[in-house]
Amino acid sequence: MPTTYKRLKLMNASGCNCTTKDELIELYNCSACDMIVSKSCTIKSREGNPSPRYYETDTLSINSTGLRNKGLHYYLSLVKYFEEMNKASRQEKRYIISYADLENIKMFIAIVENHYIVHKIPMYFEINLSCPNIPGKGQIGYDFAETHNLLDTLFNGFKPGLITNNKINIGVKLPAYFDAPHFEAMSEILNNYPLTHITCINSLGNGFVFNDKVKQAVAGNDGYGGIGGSVIKPFGLSNVRRFRGLIRSEIAIYGCGGITCLNDVYEYELCGADVVQIGTELIREGINIFNKLKQ
C-alpha cells in the first residue's frame, strides 16, 4: 500500500449497532469511529418485520428489519446529548440521524424545525432513499421523478436560512445503480440541492438466501432482504467512482459496501470516497473493526 494513503473517516452504516442510545454511545466512545449514524427511523416507532431478520455467511449478509426503530423523536432527543458529550470531550464527532419515513416528509420538516427552534443546535440527517425491506414499498431512489419531487419538498420546505446557514444539514443514502444513464439522471437531480453528502450504497434489495437448513434465511418480506458483505463491494466501488465524476465536488461521498480490511478502505479512497461506512463487518466483529482499520 502506498505511503501516500490518507486515513478516511470511519463510521457505522445505518442499521448496524445503532438502534438504541446505548449502542450509539458505544460507537461514540470508540475513538477510532469518527462519525455515527442512527438506525433509519420513521415518525413513530416501528416493530419491523418478524424474526429472524438477519443471517450471514462468509461472503454476505441478508437483512430484512422492516425499519425497526424507536421513532424520530427518540433520535432527535440524542442531538443535545451528543452535543454535550462533544463539549465535555472537546471533540466534534458528528451524530447523523437517518430518516426513511418519506411519505411523511412534511411532518418531518415541521418536527425538525421545531427541534432547532427549541435547542439551537445544528443537526445532521441522512435521508434514506433506498430501504429495500418494506413489504409493498419500492425504493424511491429508483424513481427519478419521485426523488426529484421529494427533494424539492424537503429543501424548499424549511424556513429560509436553516439549510443555507448549515443549521440543518442533509445528505441522502442511495441504492445501487447499474447503468450509466441512471447515474447521470440521478446526478442531475442531486446537483440541484445543497447536500452535505451522498452515501453509496445501501444493501442490494430483494436478495434471497437459504440458511444452513435450506430454509429461507429471513422471515419478513417473504424471505427477500437486502444483501450486504464483501460480495457487494464491486458495486459499492463502482457507484462511488461514477458519482464522484458526476456530482459537485463540495458534496462528500460516503462509501459503503463490503469493507472488511484496510485495503478495502484504500480502494474506496481511490474511487473518490471521503468517508467509509462499515455494516456487515461491524455486526460480525463488533466495534473493534474500527480499531483494526485505524491501525
Amino acid code (one letter) for 124: Y
Buried/exposed 258-267: b ≥16 CB within 10 Å, e otherwise: bbbeeebbbb
pLDDT at residue number 7: 76
Using one digit for the tens of pLDDT, what is the confidence trace for 150-189? 999 999 999 999 998 999 999 999 999 999 999 999 999 9
CATH of the domain at 149: 3.20.20.70
The residue from 16, 18, 131, 200 that is catalytic is 131
Residue 18 located in a structural domain: yes
271 labelled catalytic: no
DSSP state of 103: G
pLDDT of residue 2: 44
Cβ neighbors of 151 (< 8 A, separation 6 or more) are 172, 189, 190, 192, 193
Tell me which of 14, 64, 130, 230 is the catalytic residue: 130
**Would you call 38 a catalytic residue per the annotation?**
no
Phi-psi region of 103 (alpha: psi -120 to 50; beta: other; left: phi over 0): alpha
- The ranges of the chain with pLDDT < 70 are 1-6, 133-136
Confirm whether 160 is domain-assigned.
yes
Is 56 a member of any domain? no
Task: Please report the pLDDT score of residue 135 as a whole number.
Answer: 63
Distance, CA of 136 to CA of 123 (rounded, Å): 31
The pLDDT value given to residue 79 = 98
How many domains does the structure of the chain reveal?
Answer: 1
Phi and psi at 279, nearest 5°, equal -115, -85
With respect to residue 177, please indicate whether it lies within any of the assigned structural domains. Answer: yes
289 within a domain of the structure (yes/no):
yes
Q: Is residue 54 part of a domain?
A: no
Name the pTM for this structure: 0.95
What is the structure's pLDDT at 137?
74
In-domain check, residue 250: yes
User: What's the domain range around 155?
Assistant: 9-48+67-206+230-294
Confidence at residue 138, expressed as pLDDT on a 0 to 100 scale: 83
Residue 53 lies inside a defined structural domain of this protein: no
